[in-house]
DNA sequence: TTGAAAGCGATACCAA
DNA sequence: TTGGTATCGCTTTCAA
């Protein structure tokens, strides 16, 4: 196989002393004005009126020098940044999250924020908070992958972070919290299975770390629905490997289950295949339902039933972030943040 | 369904004038030393000897105040940051990339860099470059999702960015380029199909935007292999929807293909299911192979053959980034960056 | 061993 | 309408 590592053709890296980075003073000098004027022109400061010829000279000088303002200097002077920090742990998987992230970033950029994701794998909550705080972001928006402890919130607050927003399974103290109703996902799944005559329901609990924040509440929701109907729920630990699924399927007769909620479509697909290979008829012997409504679920036979989840829209969260930064956020206008509904196909 | 937006219980947001953020001057005051001493202690400056009691007083004061250094001020003073910017467009899909990203971030943090991902959807190359340049990162590492034009490189260079590194399908001018051999993926797939007696090979070309950087080279690689063996390659545009797959499968008889390379496992799974539903026997009538070696490919029947791709390790890329920033990167030590091999299962 | 002070780049007040 | 200048928080040289 071929491969290559290429270097810049010229010697611009390292050796050659890089041409000094242009500052607003350089722009001022070239345009023959003061630095203040440069600032006024480049920021379109409306409180000050600058003649059009001067404006043009300044802009031309900036263009010629390739001037780019220095965010750190601006931040220092302003006393605050326009940075919004999105901590991420495991890179969010699935079209649900990735679409959401793109929307959010786009909407925040329209509001003149600079959005960055900060990978925080392997950092304890408060170490992570200190790392974030060094950047003095205007806001931190946690999507529930990274734990935000009260101590972490305190660190951020004392560092001048205007808003801490958490989106997750439960409210985090001291933050603006958007609580996504994860139990509801398990509940609608269980209700559907019960309504179609099932009584002993297995609920997959992924063994992969980092999913506990979601799987626990979904299990609880299923339990709630089962108790209300006199049905039984059995937790089923499962790793995302073929071996684990085969092992679980092998125990199926002794478990005596007539239905299973697979946590999400991926785990459900994995388990369904293992069950079929073990001679279990789906949905005859056991009904199977997943969650997330992945396209792939329609490719198996029987087609996989699923719980469709509607997430809050990125644009709305962006507006909330802006309000929180400005201190104008309120608790009015509450609306559904997470809507769950069953899509019945062939596996249940 | 239930939902809620919660606010901080106390009135810390907006109204209450937030307690001033502690600076190193505050720490100095509390510890009864100068700001210089604080800096020495907190940065473990080895060139200066500070008595142990003093060090402890400073550290204690910092702890008590919840002091967190101000990255912008440090950057301004130092003349450079320790920021590494990873532009992302579409959130990287698949376990291959997400594992890689985590490794890279972890390794760079060990080298004392601050890594952030910058979502750059919907920004033209040079606008994006200006946005990145405002942050004055030490390095920009593009994973091929965002185009890095020569103009963009120039903007970054003039803003003092020490290293621009691109990982993608081809070298980008003026950057350290890691060229991943995408054609090789298509080539090994086609070679395998030809070796098993296939002669008319379809190659899926995803219609989704942003995948062109990968699909084109893979198609070219397949073409190369086919030409060498006197076989034929037919490009097959396909959107990632069930309808598109069904429509393509309906045209199958007139296409007269005896094999298809599905671009990756997801497209391959989608198409294989549509083919089966249309009465095409896999692999009897038509062989199918994907790429990426997803677990899900093993869940279909027949099990999906695939091209397994080994990506460069995050830790190695981190080392290269560090060398590039320090100007010590060289072109020696070339090694495979991307290795492709066929995993034959049942669909081919 | 510690302190005083200059200066990084951009902005906004106050004069002119 | 434009310019001079103090200031943000931190690091580092030079003096003490």
String of DSSP letters for A178-212:
EE--HHHHHHHHHHHHHHTT--EEEEEEE-STT-H
Say whether B115 and A115 touch across the interface (CB within 8 A). no
A192 has a pLDDT exceeding 60: yes
Question: Looking up tokens 């390379």, which residue turns up?
Answer: B261
Which residue among A5, A130, A158 sits closest to B178, beta carbon to beta carbon? A5
Chain A residues inside the 8 Å CB shell of B98? 90-91, 93
Identify the three-state secondary structure at position A216. helix
Count of other CB atoms within 10 angstroms of residue B113: 21
Residue of chain B with shortest Cα separation from A337: B3
Under the banding of pLDDT at 50, 70 and 90, the label for residue B303 is very high
Whether nucleic acid strand D comes within 7 Å of the CB of B200, the answer is: no
What's the CA B226/C1' C7 distance, rounded, in angstroms? 65
Looking at residues B154-161, what average pLDDT do you find? 95
Q: What integer pLDDT is reported at residue A146 of this predicted model? A: 82
Locate all alpha helices (DSSP H) within A196-333, ordered by sequence. Answer: 212-229, 242-250, 252-255, 265-277, 314-326
Say what the pLDDT of residue A161 is.
Answer: 95
Please identify which residue in the block is written with the tokens 């959807």. B121
Q: Which residue is listed with tokens 């041409």? A: A19
Rounded to whole angstroms, the Cα distance separating B267 from B13 reads 48
Cβ distance B259 to B200 under 8 Å?
yes
For A119, the closest of B101, B122, B339 (CB atoms) is B101
Q: Which two tokens stand for residue B298?
A: 């093993």
pLDDT top residue among B333 and A346: A346
Report CA(A77)–C1'(C12) in Å, whole number: 10
Token representation of residue B103: 């490794």
Q: What is the pLDDT of residue B4?
A: 45
pLDDT bucket at A81, cuts 50 / 70 / 90: very high
As ranges, strand D nucleotides with an atom below 7 A of a protein CB are: 1-5, 7-13
Residue A4 is nearest to which of B5, B8, B179, comparing CB atoms?
Answer: B179
**pLDDT value at B12 more than 90:** no
Tell me the pLDDT band of A223, cut-offs 50, 70 and 90: very high
Q: How far apart are CA A149 and CA B127, in angstroms?
A: 37
- What is the distance in angstroms between the Cα of A28 and the nearest Cα belonging to chain B? 17
Give the confidence band of A40 by pLDDT, cuts at 50, 70, 90: very high
3-state secondary structure chain B: CCCEEECCCCCCCCCCCCCCCCCHHHHHHHHCCCHHHHHHHHCCCCCCCCCHHHHHHHHHHHHHHCCCCCHHHHHHHHCCCCEEEEEECCCCCHHHHHHHHHHHHHHHHHCCCEEEEEECCCCCHHHHHHHHHHCCCCEEEECCCCCCCHHHHHHHHHCCCCEEEEEECCCCCCCEEEECCHHHHHHHHHHHHHHCCCCEEEEEEECCCCCHHHHHHHHHHHHHHHHHHCCEEEEEEECCCHHHHHHHHHCHHHHCCCEEECCCHHHHHHHHHHHHHCCCCCCCCCEEEEECCCHHHHCCCCCCEEEEEEECCHHHHHHHHHHHHHCCCCCCCCCCCEEEEEECCCCC
Place of tokens 């059009």: A52
Tokens standing for residue A127: 């170490």
Q: Which nucleotides of C are covered by protein (CB under 7 A)?
A: 1-5, 7-13
Cβ neighbours of B328 in A, within 8 Å? 14
Per-residue confidence (pLDDT) for residue A170, from 0 to 100: 80
pLDDT digits (tens, 9 = 90+) for B245-260: 999 999 999 999 999 9
Summarize pLDDT for B71-82 with one digit per residue, the tens. Answer: 999 999 999 999
Nucleotide closest to residue B26 (CA–C1'): D9
Kindly indicate the confidence band of residue B313, based on its pLDDT and cuts at 50, 70 and 90.
confident
Whose tokens are 């990339």? That residue is: B97
Long-range contacts of A59-66 (CB under 8 A, 24+ apart): A60/A31, A61/A27, A61/A28, A61/A30, A61/A31, A62/A27, A62/A38, A64/A30, A65/A22, A65/A26, A65/A27, A65/A30, A66/A22, A66/B154, A66/B155, A66/B158, A66/B159
> Could you tell me the pLDDT band of residue B337, with boundaries at 50, 70 and 90?
low
Most confident by average pLDDT, A6-20, A300-314, B266-280: B266-280
Of A18, A73, A162, nearest to B160 by CB-CB distance is: A18
**Residue range A40-69: average pLDDT?**
92
Is B229 a residue whose pLDDT tops 90? yes
pLDDT tens per residue, range A119-177: 888 889 999 999 999 999 999 999 877 889 999 999 999 999 999 999 888 888 889 98
Alpha-carbon distance A51 to nearest alpha carbon in chain B (angstroms):
27
pLDDT of residue B90: 67
CA distance B293 to B271: 16
Residue of B nearest to A127 (CA): B68
Domains of chain B plus CATH, in order, are: 24-69 (1.10.260), 83-180+316-338 (3.40.50.2300), 182-310 (3.40.50.2300)
Query: D12 C1' – B48 CA distance, angstroms?
Result: 11
Q: How far, CA to CA in Å, does B303 sit from each of A107, A191, A240, B343?
A: 42, 34, 17, 11
Q: In what order do the strands lie in the sheet with B338-343?
A: B232-238, B200-206, B259-261, B287-291, B305-311, B338-343
pLDDT for res B95: 66
- The tally of CA atoms less than 13 A away on the side-chain side of residue A343 is 19
Structure tokens that stand for B4 in this block: 């809620």
- What CA–CA distance (Å, rounded) separates B66 from A169? 29
Query: Does the CB of A46 sit below 7 A from strand D?
Result: no
Residue numbers in A near B325 (CB within 8 A): none
């Amino acid at each position: 196989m071929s491969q290559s590592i290429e270097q810049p053709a010229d010697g611009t890296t390292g050796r050659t002393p890089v041409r000094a980075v242009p500052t607003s003073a350089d722009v001022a000098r070239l345009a023959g004005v003061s630095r203040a004027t440069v600032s006024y022109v480049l920021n379109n400061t409306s409180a000050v009126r600058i003649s059009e010829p001067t404006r043009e000279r300044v802009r031309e000088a900036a263009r010629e020098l390739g001037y780019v303002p220095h965010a750190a200097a601006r931040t220092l002077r302003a006393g605050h940044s326009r940075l919004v920090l999105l901590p991420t742990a495991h890179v969010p998987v699935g079209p649900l999250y990735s679409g959401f992230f793109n929307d959010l970033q786009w909407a925040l950029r329209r509001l003149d924020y600079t959005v960055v994701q900060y990978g925080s794998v392997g950092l304890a909550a408060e170490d992570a908070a200190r790392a974030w705080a060094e950047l003095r972001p205007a806001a931190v928006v946690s999507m529930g992958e990274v734990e935000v402890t009260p101590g972490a919130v305190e660190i951020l607050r004392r560092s001048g972070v205007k808003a801490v927003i958490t989106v997750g399974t439960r409210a985090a103290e001291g933050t603006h919290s958007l609580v996504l109703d994860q139990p509801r996902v398990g509940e609608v799944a269980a209700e559907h299975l019960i309504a179609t005559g099932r009584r002993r329901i297995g609920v997959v609990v992924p063994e992969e770390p980092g999913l506990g924040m979601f799987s626990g509440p979904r299990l609880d929701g299923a339990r709630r629905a089962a108790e209300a109907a006199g049905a039984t729920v059995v937790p089923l630990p499962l790793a995302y490997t073929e071996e684990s699924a085969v092992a679980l399927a092998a125990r199926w007769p002794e478990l005596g289950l007539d239905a299973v909620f697979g946590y999400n479509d991926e785990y459900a697909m994995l388990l369904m295949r293992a069950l079929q290979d073990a001679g279990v008829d789906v949905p005859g012997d056991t009904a199977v339902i997943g969650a997330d409504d992945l396209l792939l679920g329609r490719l198996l036979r029987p087609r996989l039933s699923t719980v469709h989840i509607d997430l809050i829209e990125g644009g709305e969260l962006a507006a909330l972030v802006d309000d929180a930064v400005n201190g104008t956020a309120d608790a009015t206008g509450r609306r559904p943040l997470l809507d769950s509904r069953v899509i019945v196909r062939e596996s249940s």
